[in-house]
Amino acid sequence: MKKLLSILGVAAAMVIGNITARAADKEINLFAWSEYVPQEVIDGFTKETGVKVNYETYASNEEMLAKLKSGAVKYDLIQPSEYTIEQLVKEGALEELDQSKLSNAKNILPEFQKMPHDPEQKYTVPWMAGTVGIVVNTDKVKDEITGYKDVFQEKYKGRIVALNDNREIASWALNTLGIGCNDFSDENLEKIKPLISEWMPLVKAFDSDSPKTALQNGDVDLGIVWSGEAALCYKADKKFKFILPKEGAHMFIDSLAIPKGAPNKEGAMAFMNYILRPEVSKLISEKFPYTNPNGEARKLLAKEDMENPASFPQGQPKLDTFRAVEDDVITKVDKLVSDLRSGV
Amino acid sequence: MLVAHIAVKPLLPQGMKRINWLLGGWSGVVFLFLYLPMIPLVVYSFNASRGGVKWGGFTFGWYTALISDHTLRSAMSNSVFIAIIVTILSTLLGTLGAWMLYRYTFPFTRAIGTMVFLPMVIPEVIMGLSLRLFFSGINQNVGDHVDWFALGKLSVIIAHTTFCFPFVMVAVQARLAGLDPALEEAALDLGATPSQAFYKVIVPYLMPAIVSGALMSFTLSMDEYIVTKFTSGPQSETFPIKVYGLVKTGNVASANAISTVLIVLTIGLVVVSETLRRKRV
């Protein structure tokens, strides 16, 4: 009986250890976009440093913010986009980075540094940049598509996939009206209402996680999607053409940042420096072909990848980043688009 | 000879044959409805195109990918680990709770008896949300000192136990309803202490109910999605969450392959347990 009890005791101790222990210096909690961090990169980092990466995913900046702010779990690394970074910096929710530990930061091209959301590059390390543009299956769609208005036509009803992101959708309407994607005054919101209510019934699927699937399966022939998804379509089949809307498009910069109070800042910094290595950054680019901000990594990429028009847009497209706006404005935009999507 | 023939094949009333045919046909349709959806799942797990519906050629690639994908393995081991702990906790809580409500009377016995079943009927989203708020609240207050209650394995275990133990309790209570009080009295009369009477007489009597409740808890915990989604953190990705993530990000073929493996394993288990059972009889 005594022996049994001691065995049980040891087992219980092991179980409790497994449940609760989070060796603060041997693990990092990474909260990042789905379909954005290759498993090889995580495994490579763990193999080299012995630090385990717990990778949890989200599908929108807003989802990430909600979980982060609930405080129910502490993350060491998050991967917000530019407007969310701007907001988090304003709120003082990010740790300042110790630049002496980021020896590889010099690989980032100057045009991706010190942007308006992080003017001194104190808080973030750019992961990938990209755009939101139009993918056309040219086998099925013969008309020339140049902008949002060409996509949202009655004849394409039920043949369109769009991002499941209300701020993105609102920005398409704002750009179409020539207002600029960051001006959410009440007056402008009234103006975009008829446009969005006309567009939404035409969309077959809203998908931010993997809109390429619907395109590649032939469920839809047109899409307004992340450029990386478009690049993967093009890589698989040249019939998928990528077009940046002439009215203007969103250019995003997703970056790694450390939230205030992160338990393992050291590990997080090491991970940042690791992904800035040219050969690691190249791996990310190959798996998820967005616009790589790492100049040294670009040199390692195959010519074919560098020439992918979705990954590296040619010419002088009209591009804008998103800026942080007040919470109540975002709520208003969200409600407006949600209501029109459900046909209220 | 003629007599025997009549005895084996009694004459059916007029029309009975037709009813038998109808019933047979109906059962066939029900079985088709149950099992037909699994066929495309198995077929498409050999599909070379990753997205699912379009056929891109035959491949074993998704199965070999499963072997090398350690994230799936860790999601599976998380699920099994959580389910085992949840089963142990729910069985203990459920059995003792049922015994307490049966054997003792105290203020609010009946109210407590009813309230315990709330987690069984409450919508899972609401349960998930309230648990998330609960853990957030704890963490905002003590999170700087102890991170035990940060969303992770422990929070998922607590959440699952909350809705699993009432199932054990129901099973045990049903069995207790048929318990002859004389059994315990006889044990006490023959010199057993109250705890001996419980362990040596009552528990063996309750065993079938305890086992079926425990199996129920294990299954419920293994395939729970909604509450888990609300209460899990980066270290506690469970198998259902992983598979849903795969489908959501377009890895339909991988999800098909892992599901096929599970179907084959389940069928194998059923076959083995059936043959064992038959041998014993």
- pLDDT tens-digit readout, B21-38: 999 999 999 999 998 988
Q: Any CB–CB contact under 8 A between A5 and chain B?
A: no
Q: How many CB pairs under 8 A join A and B?
A: 85
The domain tally of chain B equals 1
CB contact under 8 A, B150 and A72: yes
Residue in chain B nearest A216 by alpha carbon: B51
Quick check: B194 and B60 in contact, CB under 8 A?
Answer: no
| Average pLDDT for chain A | 92
Q: For residues A74, A78, A82 and A88, what is the CA-based torsion angle, rounded to 10 degrees?
A: 10
**Residue of A16, A18, A19, A229 to mutate when probing chain B, most B C-beta within 10 A:** A19
Quick check: A318 and A339 in contact, CB under 8 A?
Answer: no
Pick the CATH number of A2-129+253-306 from 3.40.50.300, 3.40.50.1100, 3.40.50.10800, 3.40.190.10: 3.40.190.10
A7 alpha-carbon distance from chain centroid: 48
CB contact under 8 A, B233 and A263: no
Residue in chain A nearest B157 by alpha carbon: A19
CB contact under 8 A, A22 and B147: yes
List the single range of A18-32, A316-330, B102-116 with lowest mean pLDDT: A18-32
**Residue of B136, B155, B199 to mutate when probing chain A, most A C-beta within 10 A:** B136
**Sign of dihedral through CA atoms A170, A176, A182, A183?**
negative
Residue A344 has pLDDT above 90, yes or no: no
Low-confidence residues in chain B, pLDDT < 70 = 1-14, 51-53, 280-281
* DSSP secondary structure, B84-119, as one string: HHHHHHHHHHHHHHHHHHHH---TTHHHHHHHTTHH
Complex prediction ipTM: 0.78
The Cα–Cα gap between B152 and A73 comes to 8
- Closest listed residue to residue A98, CA positions, set A125, A116, A70: A125
The Cα–Cα gap between A284 and A34 comes to 13
What pLDDT is recorded for position B13?
67
CB contact under 8 A, B153 and A19: yes
C-alpha distance from B126 to closest chain A C-alpha (Å)? 17
The Cα–Cα gap between B222 and B239 comes to 8
Report the percent of chain A where pLDDT is more than 70: 97
C-alpha distance from A115 to closest chain B C-alpha (Å)? 30
> Within a 10 A sphere around the Cβ of B10, how many other Cβ atoms?
7
List the single range of A167-171, A226-230, B265-269 with lowest mean pLDDT: B265-269
B113 belongs to a structural domain: yes
pLDDT per position as a tens digit, A183-219: 999 999 999 999 999 999 999 999 998 899 899 988 9
Residue A29 has pLDDT above 90, yes or no: yes
Q: Any CB–CB contact under 8 A between A56 and chain B?
A: yes
CB contact under 8 A, B234 and A74: no
Quick check: A81 and A252 in contact, CB under 8 A?
Answer: yes
| Overall average pLDDT of the A136-163 stretch | 95
pLDDT per position as a tens digit, A66-87: 899 888 888 999 999 999 999 9
User: Which of chain B's residues have a Cβ under 8 Å away from the Cβ of A39?
Assistant: 69, 71
Chain B, 188-217: which have a CB under 8 Å from a chain A CB?
none
Residue in chain B nearest A77 by alpha carbon: B234
Contact residues for B81 (Cβ-Cβ < 8 A; gap 6+): A18, B153
CB contact under 8 A, B249 and A35: yes
DSSP A31: E
Quick check: A159 and A220 in contact, CB under 8 A?
Answer: yes
CATH number, domain with residue B100: 1.10.3720.10
Quick check: B97 and B116 in contact, CB under 8 A?
Answer: yes
Q: Which fold has domain A130-251+313-341?
A: D-Maltodextrin-Binding Protein; domain 2 (3.40.190)
What pLDDT is recorded for position B15?
74
What pLDDT is recorded for position B1?
45
Q: Any CB–CB contact under 8 A between A40 and chain B?
A: no
pLDDT per position as a tens digit, A74-127: 899 999 999 999 999 999 999 999 999 999 999 999 999 999 999 999 999 999
For residue B122, give its domain range.
71-219
Q: What is the pTM of this model?
A: 0.82
| Annotated domain spans of chain A | 2-129+253-306, 130-251+313-341
- Closest listed residue to residue B242, CA positions, set B267, B223, B266, B219: B223
User: Which of chain A's residues have a Cβ under 8 Å away from the Cβ of B151?
Assistant: 72-73
Q: Any CB–CB contact under 8 A between A209 and chain B?
A: yes
Q: Any CB–CB contact under 8 A between B224 and chain A?
A: no
Residue A226 backbone phi and psi in degrees, to 5 = -60, 145
Q: Any CB–CB contact under 8 A between A79 and chain B?
A: no
User: Which of chain B's residues have a Cβ under 8 Å away from the Cβ of A55?
Assistant: 234
- Closest listed residue to residue A255, CA positions, set A25, A91, A32, A17: A32
What pLDDT is recorded for position A24?
65
B43 belongs to a structural domain: no
